[in-house]
Amino acid sequence: MGGRLGHLTLPIFSVLAAIGYVYYTTVFVAVSRWLGLSTAAGVANAAAFTALAAACVATYAAAVRRDPGRVPPDFVPDVEDAKSSVHEIKRKGGDLRYCQKCCHYKPPRAHHCRVCKRCVLKMDHHCIWINNCVGHENYKIFLVFVLYAVVASFYSLILIIGSVVHSVPKDEQSGSYSSRTSIYHEGVRAMWLAEKGGDLYHHPYDLGVYENLISVLGPNIFFWLCPVLNTVGNGLRFRTSYDIPISTPPM
């Protein structure tokens, strides 16, 4: 059950939190990482998205606070009115539509909302995300909010994808630099340093399943189960994953 009109509810806080999260991620993560907030392109995109986000918040607030339309208490349909060519009647009996709960006649397309506990003009539906009905007086503002939200979502998606694509070359460059490194830390410390720097740890002596087996059992598969010494190397220097060419990655 929703609260009274204009009152803040958990769904409303959820929508506002989602808008704030998308705004922060788009401007201060995607735009800052891709274009930079000190460049003309970065400032232009940040300003454009800020305007869209502000429009979303403004139209959302209006949809929340705007009364969807009340039926005048003295409303009585005039069946002889020439300006009204359509009159709605009950399904059974053919009488004019009358709300037993509000104790007044219903205009065309008006319906009683069980949440708001009153009749709403041109009622479309009750939306828990605005804690309000969508009706005659706020239908347009609700539609405009949805339009702004869709445009802002696509804009945010484009900026986030651009940021991710832009960051790929940097990651590849850092990977190529690490491939030329000849100093390694031992197991636990290497893993700790990698996690501290936000990188994925890959053991330098892990050559893949097949190459690892060869380094221990020998290059001849027929002697793998024989008690003969045919291990690779002299035990003083070992082949690492950085010695394998990029075109033939370890298995």
Q: Is the dihedral of CA 187, 190, 193, 196 positive or negative?
A: negative
Pairing, β 111-113 against β 118-120? antiparallel
- Helix axis angle for 10-24 and 139-178, nearest 10°, is 40
- Rounded Cα–Cα distance for residues 134 and 46 (Å): 32
The percentage of residues in the chain with a pLDDT greater than 70, rounded to a whole number, is: 60
- Rounded Cα–Cα distance for residues 2 and 131 (Å): 6
Task: Compute φ and ψ for 28, nearest 5 degrees.
Answer: -90, -5
Q: Does an H or E element contain 59, and which?
A: helix 40-65
- Please say if the pLDDT value at position 149 is more than 90: yes
For 66, 87, 109, 167, 174, the CA distances from 200, given in Å and listed in that order, are 51, 70, 60, 16, 12
The 3-state DSSP composition of the chain as helix, strand, coil percent (nearest 5) reads: 45, 10, 45
Q: Does 137 or 88 have the greater pLDDT score?
A: 137
Residue 165: pLDDT band with limits 50, 70, 90: confident
For 104, 122, 182, the CA distances from 171, given in Å and listed in that order, are 69, 56, 19
72 three-class SS: coil
- Rounded Cα–Cα distance for residues 120 and 150 (Å): 27
- Please say if the pLDDT value at position 245 is more than 60: no
Q: Is the dihedral of CA 66, 69, 70, 75 positive or negative?
A: positive
Calculate mean pLDDT across residues 3-13.
Answer: 78
Q: Which residues are catalytic?
A: 127
Task: Compute φ and ψ for 106, nearest 5 degrees.
Answer: -100, 130
Tens-digit pLDDT profile for residues 95-139 = 678 888 888 888 888 899 999 999 999 899 999 999 999 999 999
Residue 23: pLDDT band with limits 50, 70, 90: very high
- Please say if the pLDDT value at position 61 is more than 90: yes
Tens-digit pLDDT profile for residues 188-232 = 555 656 666 666 556 666 777 777 667 666 677 766 655 555 666
Average pLDDT, the chain: 77
Q: What is the pLDDT of residue 104?
A: 87
50's tokens: 């800020």
Tens-digit pLDDT profile for residues 177-196 = 444 444 464 555 556 566 66
- Please say if the pLDDT value at position 151 is more than 70: yes
Residue 46: pLDDT band with limits 50, 70, 90: very high
Q: Cβ of 34: how many Cβ atoms within 10 Å?
A: 20
Residue 39: pLDDT band with limits 50, 70, 90: very high
pTM of the model: 0.62
Query: CB of 121 within 8 A of CB of 129?
Result: no
**What amino acid occupies position 106?**
K
pLDDT-wise least confident of 5-9, 21-25, 133-137, 164-168: 5-9
